[in-house]
Amino acid sequence: MIEIKNIYKSFGNLEVLKDISLSIEKGEIVAIVGPSGAGKTTLLQIAGTLEKPDRGSVLFNGIELIGMKDKKLSAFRNKNMGFVFQFHQLLPEFTAQENVALPALIAGTSKKKAMNKAAELLTQLGLGERMNHKPAAMSGGERQRTAIARALINDPEIIFADEPTGSLDSANRHEIQDIFVDLRDRFGQTVVMVTHDSSLAAIADRIIEMADGKVLPPAIEVEFETVDVSEEESFSIVDPLDAGRYGSENLVGDSIEEVGQSVD
């Protein structure tokens, strides 16, 4: 669905993305993880055409988006892409329903149709009773579900989410996770998300790790079949979310010693 090829991006002297290539297939949830400053948000914004790369190509179902004129690109984005950010970015002066309806109105849908669809989506996301509230009168979880409804209103082919659970407590984080799983399983929704939340990354079909402006090669599972450790002492040495694995001291370290002790 989306193919990103040889993307480079610098801010001044700072090289933030260094030759990134990856592709996203229809119906998959992809999580982009990695340390702060790795370039995750920049990559997501380039994939979502909110930011332009210095070099490289972003193909959407075979259509080159880099170089498309701004007006055409915003219309394309509005129709095909939905965005969810860490801080909901709802407009404070509008109700939840109006906020959700907005991208549909921009796309030229009639007010009646847009408002009906917004109500339908909000109801599906458990906010039927809250749709006339303004963001200030909603909880963090409710606002984020409203932002998801807004991302869905134009039936986008893909949703980009940057730390969608970053400002939520654990109950609300789980609700958002369940929504993404449901969207994929029931509607084949494609989702690309950036997250530091390991339980959210765990629902992904694929995890892409970034560090220092590059995509890391996929982690290889290492198994120690000859070491006899009990169930609770066994471990996987490669945790894709454990940024510490880039440091050799963490790759061996405590875990190996523990195994050593348990078999002594």
Ligand X SMILES: Nc1ncnc2c1ncn2[C@@H]1O[C@H](COP(=O)(O)OP(=O)(O)OP(=O)(O)O)[C@@H](O)[C@H]1O
The span from the CA of 59 to the CA of 62, in Å, is 5
Work out which of 29, 31, 42, 208 binds ligand X, going by CB under 6 A.
42
Q: Rounded CA gap, 75 and 72, in Å?
A: 5
Is 13 a binder of ligand X (CB under 6 A)? no
Residue labelled with tokens 């210095």: 54
**34 to 175, 184, 212: CA distances (angstroms):** 23, 23, 9
Q: Residue holding tokens 């290539």? A: 21
- Which range in 36-44, 72-80, 111-119, 246-254 contacts ligand X by CB under 6 A? 36-44
Residue of minimal CB distance from Mg ion? 41
- Name the H helices within 36-190: 40-47, 70-80, 96-106, 111-124, 140-152, 170-187
Compute the half-sphere exposure of residue 27: CA atoms within 13 Å on the CB side of its CA. 4
Shortest reach from residue 194's CB to Mg ion, in Å: 6
To ligand X, the closest distance from the beta carbon of 44 in angstroms equals: 8
The Cα–Cα gap between 200 and 177 comes to: 6
> 41 or 97, CB closer to Mg ion?
41
Is residue 165 involved in binding ligand X (CB under 6 A)? no
SS3 state of residue 63: strand
Q: Which is nearest to 3 in space by CA: 158, 136, 123, 169?
A: 158
Told to check if 200 binds ligand X by CB under 6 A, we report no
- CB-nearer residue toward Mg ion: 2 or 16: 16
Out of 31, 41, 84, 152, which residue is the one contacting Mg ion (CB under 5 A)? 41
Question: Pairing mode, if any, of strands 190-194 and 158-162?
Answer: parallel
42 binds Mg ion (CB under 5 A): no
Q: Which does 36 bind (CB under 5 to 8 A by kind): ligand X, Mg ion, none?
A: ligand X
Q: Does position 86 bind Mg ion by CB under 5 A?
A: no
CB of 41 to Mg ion, least distance (A): 3
Residues that bind Mg ion (CB under 5 A): 41
Residues that bind ligand X (CB under 6 A): 11, 14, 16, 36-42
